[in-house]
Structure 1
Amino acid sequence: MTLSLDIHYVTHIGEDLRVNILKPDGSYEQHRMQTDDGHVWSIRLTTEETTAGYIDYFYTLHRMTTELRREWCMITHRLETIGDRDSTYICHDLWHDMPDDAHLYSSAFTECVNNREHSMSPKADSNSAIRLKIRAPQLRKGERLFISGNCNILGNWNPDNALPMYEHENNEWVATVDTTDIQLQDIELKFIIKHNNPDHINSIIWETGDNRRLNIPTINGNEIIVIELPRASFDRHDQKLAGTAVPVFSLRSEGSFGVGDFGDLQLMTDWVACTGQRVLQVLPVNDTTLDHSWQDSYPYSCISIFALHPMYCDLRRLPQIKDKGLRTRFESLRKELNALPKVDYVRVNDAKNEYLHIVFEQEGKTVLSTKEFKEWFAEEEEWLVPYAQYSVLRDKFRTPNYNDWADHNVWNEDDRPALTNPRTKAYKEVAYHYFVQYMLAMQLKAAHRHARAKSVILKGDIPIGVNRCGCDAWMEPRYFNLDGQAGAPPDFFSSDGQNWGFPTYNWDEMLKDDCRWWVRRFSNMAKYFDAYRIDHVLGFFRIWEIPGSCKYGLLGQFSPSLGMTVDEIAGYGLRFSPSMLGEGMEDEREKARESLFLRDHKRHDLYHPRISSHGSPCHERLSQQEKDGYNRLYDDYFYRRNNHFWYTEAMKKLPQLVNATRMLVCAEDLGMVPDCVPWVMDELKILSLEIQTMPKEPFVRFGILEHNPYRSVCTISSHDTETMRMWWDEDRERTNDYYHNTMHHGGDAPHPLPGWLAKDIIYRHLACPSMLCILTLQDWLATDERLRLADASEERINIPANPHHYWRYRMHLNIEQLLAAKEFNRSLKEMVDASGR
């Protein structure tokens, strides 16, 4: 068949446009287009008809061998091959940039909230036809697009007779217009939305604006003309959704084994759906097993960005243990562990590992020989094989520090053949880990399918770091700076700063292969989730890097960042002296008190002002004139000097990661936020995080909820903060200020927080403009004084200032009790519905 494409795109001298035809394997063929005026580009190709019944393609802008721009490829152009193999398709296309409502193309909306059946349109009655194509992301579940116009085939403006369209791609609709039925050369039309249920309150919605005018071109034999029209325009309010945040390990059901699991995740989805919510957010679920101690409970310290944590395996969904005595023993242990108020991490994991080993010995050979397992193994082999070998070696040498192992101190690709051959000894040693990861993947995929069936968005979490002794660093050390440590500068959470202990990333190395490590990570995440939270998105702009010898975050510096020369420092009226570096002092806190500057980690002739240095002894010894100069330098350095540099750094990385999947992208953008962060997030349509008690506006104690941007996630507390009830009683002066000046109530603020007031606070958050309002389970429960935990201090999940915190919070109710709490659930649903979510 012949394919003729044209598109309007204004280029400059030396630039050219190319069309990229996608192949089934994801690669593409690139063809240079022609132009006479630099405005209209065209090409004529001969291609084979595809078995899929359509061809997908996209456009790119080039200057010689360099790609300057490409279209937004969340969805590509799709041409259905509706004629015979001798047909000529003439396509008049539009260039697509990322739209403001890009979220409506994410799987969170297309597969969960607005899920609709897709279908290819019927074959054309003849080989001469006009195809109209348009993108209309505003449609919701149960709706279909039609064309109404001033001719018979379009119903003569009668919506009952309008021409139906077919959604052959997410939010892209097509229809064939039989030109033999059109008497006019110039027709008028509008698009309309019709609900499948004619009794629906908005059963018909007409497109806004003037009528569209379409001039019908002359069609020669065997020609199918495809006209892409500017996107549909409907006057619809933005969709807002409510949700719950809870760690998987915190879930409790009647049948769980002392810790939440992927089966409990399905039950929790049912509760979210029954209360009118649409989002269930969890913490990271990756394996964190280092030494099998309670310190492995830290979910943000994964040993593999792909492997799932074995403790999340739902033992109820495994084949039953045949030995009756063992079944009785494990059931007794399950009841004991499940009755505990908090997770006993070590006992739970020891018990589950023993159980999994028994099931593996009993069923492993059968499972690993199935077609389903072999297909899954082929897809996951790249990461799975090194992870399994790492896990065996970690336990064999009784340490996760691969530098201390007797051998295999780095992954050797030559080991792969033996580790993937079921007949070898090496395979048999690692097969248990293949079995466990397969079971986990199947269970989490089942939870994902269940969430989609309930129209609930399952939202995951991508930690900024990985453990320096984990499989990722062992397998691909070139991607990491293992002599540095990631953390956070001194802030509200910690006056000494935070040292997470993670290695920082070697971005120079990662960028050499277009961040393949990160793309694989995000793509793997998309198998299980439809939205995700980027933990500490500021790390993609710059990370707080702490020397490997340091314990605290006090002596860190942003990396990368533009260090200052001695001459630049002098330009602020400040005479630089080596004594300002505090060097030679072994105690970190003492060195911090005596230093105004730190040497650059890579170039020792450059310097950075030490963060939080105001008020230190070294700062106090400065004259007033010197203090004024240092203060100007400090403000310029942290808030202006690096802005465009950090913008460029983020734009090297984030665009390809955001576009690697169709998940909805949310980011935790709290802390010392440079001005360039909102620029990037707005450009890439990433949702920000808004917490009223941690406002981003300067000189404001509490944020104004009505000022929240639509493209944001609103919450009251998180896993890193006190819950709403804890915050309410922590500082009564602050609480009174909030009660009087933000909520506009009179009298003294009541303590402890009563249920009616918790409901008031929550409703105000639900009513704000943010797209998502996701509250912790503890904050939802705060509205019901009969259901909530008696001791509010037991609700906290994490204390960021404590790097050795034990993550063990569990729901005090089980999910079955939560589902049975009819009055509470009705109250929540009423709030959600009344707020327009």
Structure 2
Amino acid sequence: MKLQFFLRFHTTVGQTLQIAGNFKSPGTGEGEAIPMSWLNENYWQASVEIDPSHDPEIRYQYQLVAADGKIVTEWGNDRCFTLKQGSFEACQFVDTWNHAGEYENAFYTAPFLETLLPQTGGKKPKQPKTCSHIFRVKAPLLQKNEVICLLGSVPALGEWATEVPTMLHREGNWWTVSLDLPKEGFPLQYKYGVYNTKEKAFVRFEAGANRSLFGDAGQHLTVVHDGFVQLPNNTWKGAGVAIPVFSLRSKNSFGVGEFTDLPLLVDWANQVNMKLIQLLPVNDTTATHSWMDSYPYAAISAFALHPIFINLEEVAGKKQSAIVKPLKNKQKELNDLPAVDYEEVMKIKMAVLKELFVAQKDVWLSNPEYQEFFDRNQYWLVPYAAFCYLRDQNLTADFTQWKEHSHYEAAAIDDFVSPEKDHHDDILLHYYIQYQLHRQLKAATAYAHRHGIIVKGDIPIGIYRYSCDAWMSPALYNMDQQAGAPPDDFAIKGQNWGFPTYNWQKMEEDGYTWWKQRFAQMSEYFDAFRIDHILGFFRIWSIPLSAVEGIMGHFVPSIPVHVNEFSERQIWFNHHRYTRPYITENILRDRFGNLQQYVRDTFLEETGFGQFNFREEFDTQRKVENWFAHQEIPDNQGWLKQGLLDLHSNVILFEEKDSNGTKFHFRFAMEQTSSFRMLEWDTRQKLKDLYVNYFYQRQDDFWMQEAMHKLPALKASTNMLICGEDLGMVPHCVPDVMKQLGILSLEIQRMPKDPKKEFFHPNDAPYLSVVTPSTHDMSTIRGWWEEDHAKTQRFFNQELGQWGEAPLFCEAWINRSIIIQHLNSPAMWSVFQLQDLLGMDAGLRRNDPGEERINIPAVAKHYWRYRMHMTLESLMKEKAFNTDLKEYIKAGGRA
């Protein structure tokens, strides 16, 4: 059988098109793309002969090949058609390219298809005895009782009569109809419309010009894929609440929020007509068995769930309830605390879980559901359990310090976890805990889905340096580097997260298997996810392991400054002067005062002309920090150490490793260093120009190519809805890439992406975005209001449109006005921290807004312990508050 493909697509010079499918043509191999040829300004075509008996189901996608050879694949995998052998001599497909950035594609992701907008099809009509044409089109946002219909210029399509239009029915993602159209009617003019089956009335035509179909009916079948019906498909809007699991509080939780608390949150969200619950990462972070493990972005496994979220009573059941009953008083004591006592909660839960494991071991091991769970997850579960055991035996998660198995070998670990080993029960304990966590989270998210609510997870940009992932596959990460962020108003020294950066070249070798496994694991529980710091897929702020502060990093990858560029721009260049800390007697006197001599004698060596270098034992920030960690000398508030760290960052350039003095990267905020200020005026001006070129001009296309090399493949591997945290120093290319790929952006009122604006107004948000007044990394609305009165005064007058003096404290009506602004935004989602929602009610909110903050990014060792100050059960009883919130959501046009 001959297949002919016609694609509506207008190309530019140098671009070509091809088809990737489960068929081949002469001269191509199985699965190899088939080149298309230009037909005219509007169409490309290709032909192929196939044997339908080999595989009657045809599956294919179109690909655009750029002039430089880069390939862009259209979005979706639903171009499929089953051929009936002997029915036709040929089959032709007339298609429309499916651009990933079309916002309608969002409605074909899992949360909409399975929970928010479960589609029902129209009644399947009687099929004609002979069929010349099949029309297929998508329409994601039809109202109840509405179906798609087809009207056109020929009698078979009613000659545009709206009284008896041709009805389509739903098959998969497509609305479709089979017709027998006589050849006399071509070229055909037609349009899709909407018909209400209950009212038996035509509702409307689609927008735009008439559609056209050329050619005629003959000894071939024509299948028309028409893309999306041209309707206002950006009208659906939802609201959501964001809160970490650990912050939930219920009568039955144990000093911390648990997975079993999520159904209560679902009940409340459903009560106020919210459609989304957004969580922070829920992966196991147990590295030190201390409160420092409260940091949710430092998981020891990208796959394992955190034991702190387990509900002991649910695990015990009736048979082992005697094990947990004696803990009632302790449970009440911990539950009454204003914040999470991480260490005490973990200590008790792990002790009880060990008891329950012993009591349930035999029954649990023979459970078919557990066996299925183990078989599906053993690729990460077995190494994780071994890692946890070895961590505890060696009293450290730093696997480089372990006496045995410091280097992961799959065969050795398989032997290590075998039932013959004395420690096998210790390994089984971790299988047991992960299975119980899986059951509880799965039940919670299934409950959410039954109530029409989706759950959004969070994928950290990095992995913990001493994690199971790094232990298993260190080559996938740059272990000699640390990920972070450049300085900003919230962290003037930058941020150093300590995570190794990704070795993307190595990850690409196996088709990003680790990422795809990670997404698959996420989709077990979540419908959507937030990519933490999506800018890391364009470039990451990379800090050498020898440095402590984020200010010592630079973007990787990036196009460096070549040494020749200095002479080309007539810039005086001195390698030593630009790349080493600039330390003079004046700088020492100004910074250290009467301690300057001590600093000189202890840490520095004189080089002459009143200048100094660090001694070898202090020539990196890491060496300085390590020295202070072992000293018993007074250093109030770390003042002396900070002064020395600042000396290390008093540089203009960082030399690129292994470049032999030929390639350099500018230190961020170079102009703020005394090293820069001490240069003569002309040199400063020329360096500034080159600095601007380096950070804001030369990198953009390069970073765009980097992102387009990774993100399309990763996005195509999952059908979850993807949202990107695109905050910080955002390259110009980022919005375009996210728009091309249909990834939702994050819009925050106090962090405008337009540098000319002080505030962002929710009314200006793009449809494919999430608007929020604050995130877990920021102060709440109320906390922000008290930070800078001059700024909030301008916000009060300009953004809220109020006259006069702004209140010193954020009164409930102000908080409410900001929430309502966000609910009325055109963005697909408006999501709020629970603290911000409670801030609308003076009687419900906490007295001190400072107690509502979840994280302070500038504090490297922050204790993540915020908890709701009221129970979820109490919140559900606040009828007046809940009714008002529901009305605000409804007034904002949110589903």
Cα offsets for 1:94-128 (capped at 9, x unmatched)? 14332421322222322232221469968956464
| Alignment correspondent of 2:538 | 541
Per the alignment, residue 174 of structure 1 pairs with 176
Tell me how far 1:475 sits from its aligned partner: 0.4
* 215, 234, 241: which one aligns with 1:244: 241
Q: Which residue in the other structure is 1:698 paired with?
A: 755
Which residue is 1:206 aligned to?
205
- What's the CA shift string for 1:568-611, capped at 9, x where partnerless? 12334431221222254335534345312222234342222211
Per the alignment, do residues 163 and 67 of structure 1 end up closer, same or farther by CA in structure 2, a change over 3 Å counting?
farther
Using the size of structure 1 for normalisation, the TM-score is: 0.90
Following superposition, the deviation at residue 551 of structure 1 comes to 1.9
Letter in 2 for 1:30: G
Contact 1:321 1:358 survives alignment (8 Å): no
Could you tell me how far 1:460 is from its partner in structure 2? 1.0
Residue pair 1:294, 1:806 contacting (<8 A) in 2 also: yes
Cα contact 2:246–2:257 (8 A) shared by 1 = yes
Q: CA deviation at 1:5?
A: 4.1
Partners of 1:226 and 1:290 lie apart in 2 by: 57
Once residues 168 and 415 of structure 2 are traced to their aligned partners in structure 1, the CA distance between those partners, rounded to angstroms, is: 54
Check 1:539–1:37 CA distance in 2 against 1; reply closer, same or farther (3 A cut).
Answer: closer
Inter-CA distance 824–155: structure 2 relative to 1 (3 Å threshold): farther
Alignment of 1:487-566 (within 5 A): 487-566=484-563
Does 2:60 correspond to 1:4?
A: no
Partner of 1:595: 651
- 2:81 equivalent among 57, 79, 82: 79
Verify the 8 A CA contact 2:815 2:839 in the aligned structure 1.
yes
2:791 is matched with 734
In structure 2, how many angstroms separate the alpha carbons of the residues matched to 1:505 and 1:373? 33
C-alpha spacing 1:613/1:238, structure 2 compared with 1 (3 Å)? same
Q: Structure 1 residue 110 and structure 2 residue 109: aligned? A: no
C-alpha contact (below 8 Å) 1:115/1:141 kept by paired residues: no
Of the structure 1 ranges 496-505 and 561-570, higher mean CA displacement relative to structure 2 is found in: 561-570
What amino acid maps onto 1:46 in structure 2?
D
Taking a change above 3 Å as real, the CA distance of residues 321 and 89 of structure 1, as seen in their structure-2 partners, is farther
Checking the alignment, whether the CA contact within 8 Å between 1:5 and 1:92 is kept in structure 2 is yes
Say yes or no: does 1:145 pair with 2:148.
Answer: yes
Partner of 2:327: 330
Q: Note the C-alpha offset of 1:274.
A: 1.9
Which AA in structure 2 matches 1:503? P
User: Which residue in the other structure is 1:666 paired with?
Assistant: 723
**Distance of 1:383 and 1:122 partners within structure 2:** 49
Say which is worse superposed, 723-732 or 576-585, in terms of deviation: 576-585
Structure 2 residue aligned with 1:96:
98
- Give the counterpart letter for 1:813 in structure 2: M
Q: Distance in 1 between matches of 2:198 and 2:648?
A: 68
Q: Equivalent residue for 2:689? A: 632
> What SS does structure 2 have at the residue aligned with 1:258?
coil
Q: How many pairs align?
A: 822
Q: What is the identity, as a one-letter code, of the residue corresponding to 2:494?
A: G
Structure 1 contact 128–219 (Cα < 8 Å) conserved: no
Which residue identity lines up with residue 146 of structure 1 in the other structure?
Answer: C
1:276 to 270, 273, 276: 273
Distance, in Å, in 1 between the alignment partners of 2:850 and 2:675 is 39
- Distance, in Å, in 2 between the alignment partners of 1:593 and 1:31 is 52
* Aligned counterpart for 1:775 among listed residues 796, 819, 832: 832
Q: Percent same amino acid at aligned positions?
A: 36
Aligned to 1:752: 809
Describe the shift of the 1:142–1:248 C-alpha distance in structure 2 as closer, same or farther (beyond 3 A).
farther
- Structure 2: distance between partners of 1:63 and 1:282: 39
Is the contact between residue 184 and residue 216 of structure 2 (CA under 8 Å) also seen in structure 1?
no
Deviation at 1:514, TM superposition (A): 2.8
- Deviation track 1:305-325 (CA, whole Å, cap 9, x = no partner) reads 111111122334324263564
Q: Secondary structure at the match of 1:641?
A: coil
Unmatched tracts of structure 1, length 5 or more: none
* Matching residue within 165, 169, 187 for 2:168: 165
Query: How is 1:405-424 mapped onto 2 (pairs within 5 angstroms)?
Result: 405-415=402-412, 417-418=414-415
AA partner of residue 740 (structure 1): N
1:40 has 2:41 as partner:
no
Q: Per the alignment, do residues 542 and 69 of structure 1 end up closer, same or farther by CA in structure 2, a change over 3 Å counting?
A: closer
TM-score (norm 2): 0.85
Who is 2:193 aligned against?
Answer: 192
Counterparts of 1:498 and 1:733 in 2: how far apart (Å)? 27
The structure-2 alpha-carbon separation of the partners of 1:212 and 1:621, relative to structure 1 and needing over 3 Å to count, comes to closer
Q: CA deviation at 1:668?
A: 1.4
SS of alignment partner, residue 252 of structure 2 = coil
Q: CA deviation at 1:423?
A: 7.0
Question: 3-state DSSP class of the match of 1:730?
Answer: coil
Moved more, 435-444 or 388-397: 435-444
Q: 1:16 to 1:566 in 2, by over 3 A?
A: closer
The alignment partner of 2:731 has SS state of: coil
Match of 2:478 in 1: 481
Residue identity matched to 2:51: T
Is 787-796 or 565-574 further displaced after alignment? 565-574
Residue number in structure 1 paired with 2:629: none
- Offset, 1:811: 0.6
CA contact 2:259–2:441 (8 Å) conserved in 1: yes
| 1:403-482 pair list within 5 angstroms | 403-415=400-412, 417-418=414-415, 428-482=425-479
Instruction: Return the letter of the residue paired with 1:724.
Output: I
Deviation of 1:462 (Å): 0.9
Q: Deviations over 1:288-331 (max 9, x none)?
A: 11021110000011111111111122334324263564232133
C-alpha distance 141-779 of structure 1, shift in aligned 2 (>3 A): farther
| Alignment pair present for 1:262 and 2:259 | yes
* Contact kept? 1:192, 1:204, Cα under 8 Å: yes
CA distance in 2 between partners of 1:539 and 1:771 (Å): 24
Deviation at 1:724, TM superposition (A): 0.5
Task: Judge which range, 620-629 or 39-48, deviates more.
Answer: 39-48
Matched residues in 2 for 1:624 and 1:87: separation? 80
User: 1:336-347 to 2 correspondence within 5 Å?
Assistant: 336-347=333-344
Residue equivalent to 1:289: 286
Are 2:365 and 1:363 equivalent residues in the alignment?
Answer: no
Match of 2:746 in 1: 689
Kindly indicate whether the alpha-carbon contact (under 8 Å) linking 1:669 and 1:688 is maintained by their aligned counterparts in 2: yes
Q: Distance in 2 between matches of 1:330 and 1:88?
A: 76
**2:145 & 2:869 partners in 1: Cα distance?**
38
| CA 419–158 in structure 1, closer or farther in 2 if over 3 Å, else same | farther
Deviation, structure 1 residue 249: 0.7
Alignment of 1:601-620 (within 5 A): 601-605=657-661, 606-620=663-677
Which of 285, 293, 298 is the aligned partner of 1:301?
298
Deviations 1:485-543 (A, max 9, x none): 11122211222221111111222212222322222222322222222111111212222
- Post-superposition Cα deviations, 1:27-75, rounded to whole Å, max 9, x if no partner, equal x95266587866421123123487xx955332446799x9853532423
Worse-matched range after superposition: 94-103 or 283-292: 94-103
CA contact (8 A) 1:115 1:140 kept: no
The C-alpha deviation readout for 1:142-193, integer Å capped at 9, x for no partner, is 64323345778767767675444333223x222222569x996776653233
Partners of 1:546 and 1:553 within 8 A in 2: yes
Deviation, 1:406, is 0.9
Give the Cα–Cα distance (whole angstroms) in 2 for the partners of residues 236 and 325 of structure 1.
56
DSSP 3-state at the match of 1:43: strand
Q: Which amino acid aligns with 2:267?
A: D
Structure 1 window deviating more from structure 2 (289-298 vs 550-559): it is 550-559
Alignment-derived partner of residue 713 in structure 1: 770
CA contact (8 A) 1:419 1:430 kept: no
Q: Is the 8 A contact 1:252 1:259 kept in 2?
A: yes
What secondary structure does 2:480 align onto? strand
Amino acid corresponding to residue 77 of structure 2 in structure 1: I
Partner of residue 57, structure 1: 60
